[in-house]
Amino acid sequence: MDSSDAPLHIGRAAARHGDRMRPIDSPPAQDPVTTPGAAAAAPFDPPFDILEPGTLDSPLVFSSPHSGSLYPVCFTQIARLDAQALRRSEDAYVDDLFMGALSVGAPLLRARFPRAWLDVNREPYELDPRMFDGRLPSFANTRSIRVAGGLGTIARVVGEALEIYAGRLSVAEALARVDTLYKPYHEALRTLLERARDRFGVAILVDCHSMPSSATRSFSGADSARIDMVLGDRFGASCGRLYIDVAEAELVARGYRVSRNKPYAGGYITESYGNPGAGWHALQIEINRGLYMDEKSIEKGPGFDKLKRDLGDMAHALAAAAGPAQSQRAAAE
């Protein structure tokens, strides 16, 4: 199978709009920020990988936005935490878990930069003014719930509210991270989805994440500790019922306990790219980290290989379910 490590640098992020994706409105042009931009991108060259199948046979597109595991010296030098502590927000090994995407003829997009450096599952400018020297631009969203919780586009905390940075960052640094990492990632994702939609008549995004084993305990009592997966379709708004039904059935048949939309209904990516009526489907999957890794050492556990096989089987089932949609599109044309 072929793979491509070269990122797609095409400029602007995108959001769904009818049969095509439209670029997100860009903020007013700023003065060039050469040095911070270079510093923001340099440790992550390329900033993400696009792993392509040998043959493109499926409308599925897999995205792993939080599995980046590069923690360069320039990051740890400005952080009050070491790299091991910073990894508490990382969806460790999730990209590896979903390598079965390639075997069903689907691409996998994975970030190389860590979520603690930049979170692409946020609006582009969800920024906390307390983190920066100087005034943020007027287009920044400084009052979102995620910003208030310290989890904006550039996070303030990881884990149990552990402060990341030893001091304030410059505004130029924040804007440079968005320009050099966030926007190219979303443009690459948009391009992959449009390719799938154009070729197969439908595009199905599987947005891949993991969650701490403690994450679900508070939402439905002690029994919720047994939840293995959470499937999110924003309560039906981002994905056709067929695909979430298939995913759940495949996982339940393999012994996993699955919840829908609680406590995770889907984030910015699911919301932005899901438009089932126009053939754009976006399904988020959250995997309990206790299934496959030691959460303290962040090492793979004995359950990793079985989980990887089971997720590969789920991917095959989703690809098969997409067949009727492709046939209906071809008949309509």
- What is the structure's pLDDT at 139? 97
Q: What pLDDT tens digit does each residue of the chain (333 aa) get? A: 333 322 222 222 333 334 455 444 444 444 333 445 556 666 899 999 999 999 999 999 999 999 999 999 999 999 999 999 999 999 999 999 999 999 999 999 999 999 999 999 999 999 999 999 999 999 999 999 999 999 999 999 998 899 999 999 999 999 999 999 999 999 999 999 999 999 999 999 999 999 999 887 655 555 545 899 999 999 999 999 999 999 999 999 999 999 999 999 999 999 999 999 999 999 999 999 999 999 999 999 999 999 999 999 999 999 999 986 554 444 444
Based on C-alpha coordinates, what's the Rg of the chain? 19
What domains are there in the chain, each with its CATH number?
A: 14-332 (3.40.630.40)
Predicted confidence at residue 333, as pLDDT, reads 45
Measured CA to CA, the distance from residue 31 to residue 266 in angstroms comes to 35
- Return all residues near 179 (Cβ < 8 A) that are at least 6 apart: 33, 37, 40
> What SS3 string covers the chain?
CCCECCCCCCCCCEEEECCEEEECCCCCCCCCCHHHHHHHHCCCCCCEEEECCCCCCCCEEEEECCCCCCCCHHHHCCECCCHHHHHHHCCCCHHHHCHHHHHHCCCEEEECCCCCCCCCCCCCCECCHHHEECCCCCCCECCCHHHHCCCCCCCCEECCCEECECCCEEHHHHHHHHHHHHHHHHHHHHHHHHHHHHHHCCEEEEEEEEECCCCCCCCCCHHHHHCCEEEECCCCCCCCHHHHHHHHHHHHHCCCCEEECCCCCCCHHHHHHCEHHHCEEEEEEEEEHHHCEECCCCEECCCHHHHHHHHHHHHHHHHHHHHHHHHHHHHHC
Do 138 and 175 form a contact (C-beta atoms < 8 A)? no
Distance CA 25, CA 115 (A): 24
Q: Peptide bond preceding 46: is omega within 30 degrees of 0, i.e. cis?
A: yes
What's the pTM value of the predicted model, to 2 decimals?
Answer: 0.86
Predicted local distance difference test score (pLDDT) of residue 284 = 98
